[in-house]
Each structure stands twice: as C-alpha cells, then as structure tokens.
Structure 1
Amino acid sequence: MRNQILKTSLLAVILALTSCASIELSSPKGSFAKGADVGWLPQMEATGYKFYDADGSQKDCLQLLKDRGINTIRLRVWVNPSDDRASGHCSPEETVAMAVRAQKMGMRIMIDFHYSDTWADPGKQAKPAAWANHSFPQLLEDVYQHTHSVLTMLKKANVTPEWVQVGNEIPGGMLWPDGSTDNWVQLGQLLNKGYEATKAVDKNIKVIVHLDQGNNSQRFRTFFDNATTQKVKYDVIGLSYYPFWLKSDYTENIADLQNNLNDMAVRYNKEVMVVEVGGEDTKVENTANMLKAVIKAVRNVPNNKGIGVIYWEPEGARSWSHYELSAWMQDGKPSSALDAFKE
C-alpha cells in the first residue's frame, strides 16, 4: 500500500508539472551534449541537503548545473528498488518525475536502464527479484515490456528522451547468468529487445550500448566485434572514463581514450559519447583539466561522431554520499571544476 501511495503521489506531481510552468529552451539536438547524471538529487533534497551558488545564495541544483554549461541530464532507472537513501529510489515513477523537472529547465534527457533493482556495473548485473526465476524467453519479454513501459510513461508526461541506454557498463553482459558474455547469442537478443522497445515508442531516440574503461581499446573491440557478429542494433557507443578507478592520472591514458574513441567511430561507424566521467573532489584543478581534455578528445573524433560528455553525479557531495568523485564542495557549492563545461 505504501508503494502504491508513493506512486500515486509521484504521478500527481508529474501531471501538475506537465500542466503548468513554461519550458525553457533547450540546446538543439545535434549540438554537443554537456551532461550530468543526477540520480541522487531527489534523495538529497528529500533529506534536506541545500545547494548554494558561489555567492552563497541558495539555488536549485539544476539551475546551478545549467549556469555552468550543463545542457543534458542522465537518469538511471531501476525496476523495483528499495528505499535505501544512496542505493535505492530511481523507480520508473521517480525517474519520470525527475525527467519532467529537468526538461522544464530546458535540459535534454538520457535514460539509463540498469535492468536490475539496484546498481548494475562490470562487477554485478543481478536480475530484478521479480524476474529471477524467469525463463530466457520470459526475460526477453521482461526487457521489452519494462523498457517500453518506462518510455511510454515518459511520453505520456510529454518527455521524449534523446538517448536511451540499454544496460549500464556491460563489458560482461547483463541479467547474469542468462545475458552474460559467456552466452553472446542470448546477450545479443536481450540488447535487441531493448532497442526494439525503444524504437517502438519513438524511432528517433538514439540507443546507447555502454562499457567502462573507455581507454581500453581491446575491451571495446572484443565486445563490439561480438555485438556485430550477433547483429546487435544500436546507435551510439557509450564509454565510462574514470582515471581514479584506473589508479592513474588522466595524463597517462587520455591519448588512449582519444584513440579508442576514434577507433570505435571508424570501426563500427557509430557515434561515440563519454556517458560517465569523474575526478577527485579534492583535486579541483586536476579534475578541471581532465574534463577539458576529455571534452576535447570527444570533440576531436572525426566526422562529428563525438557527441557529448556526462559527469556522473557532480552534485553528489561527499558529505551526503561519501563519494569522492563528485564535483561539489563541503560548503554546498559547486566545484569550479565544472566550469570546464562552459567552454
């Protein structure tokens, strides 16, 4: 009953948002996407976290991001998440409400399907509990219906995402074990179900397939060569790039990122996009320089196939999240590292 009341309340908020307030003009499709993943934002606000501008004035977080050049918001969606503050929420209803709010600010929208009840990444790709005992044919239907349902909810709220990610950081596949890269035939079918569901809602939405370690050419070639063999359908190759998790400085592998971006664009004739990036919050100058270098690398991809860069949870201040790669300071103000997006 509690969950139903929450869903009803959220949908009421969505309807209210879509029926009032003028929409600010967004940057046009086709322009370079400068983005922020802000999945934690509703929880931060609900727990009383306040956001401040450089002059100390309290402001809406999305406005602070927009003032620093951000024009795109990326939102994760989980199937049936818990209420955990940092590792829950991001239900379809909550994601729709956040997407409506971001679009009202003139932001472009990316939806990141994890196909799980919680975090999905290279080390874990757990099925949603409701799908745990489903046969593989049922899983194919699950992926299609879940993807189609969430995007239909968005469409009814007058939001059409510009991009949809089918899976989150999936070098080893998704929905383990059925969709592991140990069984590429099945993984290919699952990815195509996500693509088909997306295009059934709106054929103009670009579908992204996303891996981590964006500097690792072999990792990407192995995956996307297999995807080609399985006739996987997608529009954009998404990359994560975190020098911190690579235990290096960006200067040690930014050239590898550039080479991989170029190679992916040419080898598979796809657009490429860094859909996750982040640097240490205590190393402001280094993070700013890293962001400038990443943006330059993506812009330098031949034939305008480099289409954007998205910071993962810049607003997720360490004092709230305990995450060291946000771009927010202890005083509730954005780090000057984000000014890299203004250029």
Structure 2
Amino acid sequence: MPSPRAAHDTASGSPHTPPQNGSGPVTRRTVLTAAAGGLALTGFAAAPAQARGSTALSVRGADLSFLPQLEEVGVTYRDLKGRVRPAERILADAGATYQRIRVWVNPPAGYTDRTRALLLARRAHRSGLRIVLDPHFCDFWADPSKQPIPAGWPTTLPELSEKVRTYTRDLVRAFAAQGTPVDIVQMGNEITAGILWPVGQLYPADGSQRWSEFTTLLKAGITGARQGAGRRPPRIMLHIDRGGKLGDTQWFFDNIVDRQVPFDIIGQSYYPMWHGSLADLQANLNDSVTRYGKPVLVAETSYPWTLEDGDGYENLITDASGLPDVERFPATPAGQAGFYEALRDVLTGIPGGQGLGFLAWEPEWIPGVGWEPGAGAPNDNLTQFDFTGRALPSIRAYRRP
C-alpha cells in the first residue's frame, strides 16, 4: 500500500506514466502505503507446489509487520471466541498458511528492519506459517509514488546493482540460517513505476522509460535471492498495484517478459476502492495466467468493516462511495466477510488452478501505532480485528479448502 502522504495522488493518471497499450495513460494508484539475530530452527516444511487444475488456495495469509510494535504499546488480540492470543496464531488457527514480512533497510527506530523481520519469521514458523519476504529496497515506505535509494547506497547502476544483489543474498541467507527459509521473495514493493529512484525509475519527468536500468536491478536482486537460499531457491514474485487494471498489467508484464526477467509469480495489490470491481480483478487475473503462463497471487488486499475512525487520525476510506460492490458488501463486519468470500471464489476460479491465493494487508493494524513516528493508523477500519482487538468474522476466509 502507499503511504497516506501519497493518498492525494489519486487514480486519475499521471503525465509521466506510459500509454495503456495505446489506449491512454496508465492510471496510478497512490493510496495507502504506510499506512503502515536468531536461534536456529529446524523442521521447516517447504511449501508444496499447487497442483495444476486444483481449486485449492495454497496461499492464505497476511502481512503482519506492525504486530511487534502494536504489542509493545499494549495491544492484545482475541479470537472469535474471545480468547487472548497472538494475532498470527489466531490467523493460523483459522487456516492461514503464510505470513508476509516487510523489511526496510534503515527505518525509524522500532519499525521493521532486518532484525525485527527475523524475529517475526521465527514467530511465524512457530505458528506453522510459511514466509513471503517483502524487501522494499528503501529505508522506509516504497510504493508507486516513491522508491528512493537507501541513504548510503551507491547511486550509479553498476554499483547499485551489485549492492542489490549482495543485500538480497544476505537477507535471504539470514532467514535460511535461522531455520525459517523464505518461500516467496518479492522483488520490491508495488514496483509498477520501478525501484531505487532515480536510477531504476521507469517513468521519470523527462518522459523516458528506463526499462533497461530497472530490469538490470531486478535481475540483480533475483540472482541474490537465489544465491542466499542455496539449494532451496525461493519463488520470485513481481508485485504491482493494478489488481483490476488489465491494460496496465499487460503493459508492465509485456515489458518484463520482453526483457527476459526470470520470475515465478505475478503479484497484484487489489483494493476495490482503487482497483475496480471483483469482476475487473477476475478478468485481469484470467488474462495474466493465459498471457504469461504464470500463477497469480493477490499480494495485498483489504476491505472496510466500518466507516468509523478508531484513533482520531483520519482514515483513507471515510465513505462508501468508492466501493464498486458496496450493495453486495457494505462496510460492516458481515459485508467485509462477504468480500473475502467472493475474493476466494474469484481466485479458485482462475484457469488451471493458477490462482495461488491472497494476503490481507496489515489486518492487525488497529489503533496504537502510526504509519510513521507521531502519526496515526489511516486504515484502522480496514483491519480484520475491531478497534479493541477482537477478531472479525472475515478471518474465516483463511480456512482450509
């Protein structure tokens, strides 16, 4: 998700984005980014490959990267029966199979750097969850509106590519060394407009398109991820923010394929308030698996369970006008649960069993921690726990097939 700072750059398009397969500018969602060391572990089971033609969703999980910070300020979570339990265990008991972990290079104190990410991985492992690693390749939030190079990193392409390779290698190696190997690695976060700006910025203000530089950096990170994993290479996901935007998705991945970037999974952010209806999502995902021969994963999603605000910090979604299926899925706990059930139906219907599943974005991020120091939580009505930490009915969407 994009940061609140980017929320005002709406999906109206940008003069710096490329044509949508010859039919107009690529729309640019900039919404909710922010929003916001270890003991050796053994016995971690590898994720089974999804059988072709199966309708089972092998990936059912969530990004819970704010969880330690929330616990540190006293937030607790309760399951549907009212029992106090860690949030990741509540989701795992509901049937979740994966946890996504965000990693920043040098974020503000308390936010998820490598050390905190490794601790989260050990917790996920103890709950039986596999790992999706989400390195932002930034010191803090990265999304389609911003992808700055970390302070202290090189700023020329050859040196920066080598830094991306070694950084990714060492990061993935650290997870493997503590017995929590990464199953899926994202190459950056919502990389629709490139990474590591300005070197890998796809659509800079001068109107150029730096596909060569961008894909050079991607390939360096992919090489590093495979080197760090050793004999158990992770699956590589390329994650963009075009869930229901078919033309934009084709533009991006046509260029990726033309430049021979090796990857395994097409990842999409899908927030219906910015990316269209579930029918739009279904059309786009169906096209992708046919056009590229790759499985698809909804790598980020969420939906409001209320239009109320829990912390006095204005939420990104304050009315239902932008929800395309609001009559089917009102902003209530039941409406949110219905949305997740319909999303499951879309994914299980992807041709050839190529719909891997979904990852909810920060469903535990109830009031208590801001998207940056001193700020609030702008999506506390998009969680799967209410303002007091009680699980909402939508967690049943993690159930086993």
Same-fold status (TM-score > 0.5): yes
1:100 paired with 2:118, answer no
Identity, % of aligned positions: 32
Contact 2:366–2:386 (CA under 8 A) maintained in structure 1 = yes
Q: 1:315 maps to what in 2? A: 364
- Structure 1 residue corresponding to 2:142, chosen from 102, 116, 120: 120
Structure 1 segment 219-234 matched on structure 2, within 5 A: 219-234=248-263
Structure 1 residue 27: Cα displacement:
7.2
Contact 2:70–2:368 (CA under 8 A) maintained in structure 1 = no
Q: 2:155 maps to what in 1? A: 134
Structure 1 residue 340: Cα displacement:
2.1
Structure 1 segment 128-167 matched on structure 2, within 5 A: 128-131=150-153, 134-167=155-188
Structure 1 segment 1-343 matched on structure 2, within 5 A: 11=37, 14-15=38-39, 18=40, 28-30=48-50, 32-83=58-109, 89-131=111-153, 134-181=155-202, 182-202=209-229, 204-246=233-275, 253-282=277-306, 283=331, 284-318=333-367, 320=369, 321-323=377-379, 324-342=381-399
Structure 1 residue 313: Cα displacement:
0.6
Instruction: Note the residue ranges of structure 2 that are not aligned, 5 or more in a row.
Output: 1-36, 51-56, 203-208, 307-330, 370-376
Residue identity matched to 2:221: G
Q: Higher relative CO (CA 8 A, sep ≥ 6), structure 1 or 2? A: 2
Alpha-carbon distance in structure 2 between the residues aligned to 1:275 and 1:44 = 22
Contact 1:23–1:105 (CA under 8 A) maintained in structure 2 = no
Contact 1:244–1:280 (CA under 8 A) maintained in structure 2 = no
Moved more, 201-210 or 27-36: 27-36
TM-score (norm 2): 0.75
Alpha-carbon distance in structure 2 between the residues aligned to 1:193 and 1:47 = 38
Contact 1:164–1:208 (CA under 8 A) maintained in structure 2 = yes
Structure 1 residue 176: Cα displacement:
1.0
Contact 1:208–1:237 (CA under 8 A) maintained in structure 2 = yes
Alpha-carbon distance in structure 1 between the residues aligned to 2:122 and 2:85 = 19
Instruction: List structure 1 runs of 4+ shifted beyond 6 angstroms.
Output: 22-27
Alpha-carbon distance in structure 2 between the residues aligned to 1:184 and 1:169 = 16
Going from structure 1 to structure 2, the CA distance change for 1:217 and 1:225 (only over 3 Å counts) comes to same
Q: 1:6 maps to what in 2? A: none
TM-score (norm 1): 0.87
Instruction: Note the residue ranges of structure 1 that are not aligned, 5 or more in a row.
Output: 1-10, 247-251
Structure 1 residue 117: Cα displacement:
0.6
Contact 1:26–1:71 (CA under 8 A) maintained in structure 2 = no
Structure 1 residue 55: Cα displacement:
3.3
Higher helix residue share: 1
Residue identity matched to 1:328: F
Moved more, 45-54 or 234-243: 45-54
Structure 1 residue 274: Cα displacement:
0.3
* Matched residue SS, 1:169: coil
Moved more, 319-328 or 199-208: 319-328
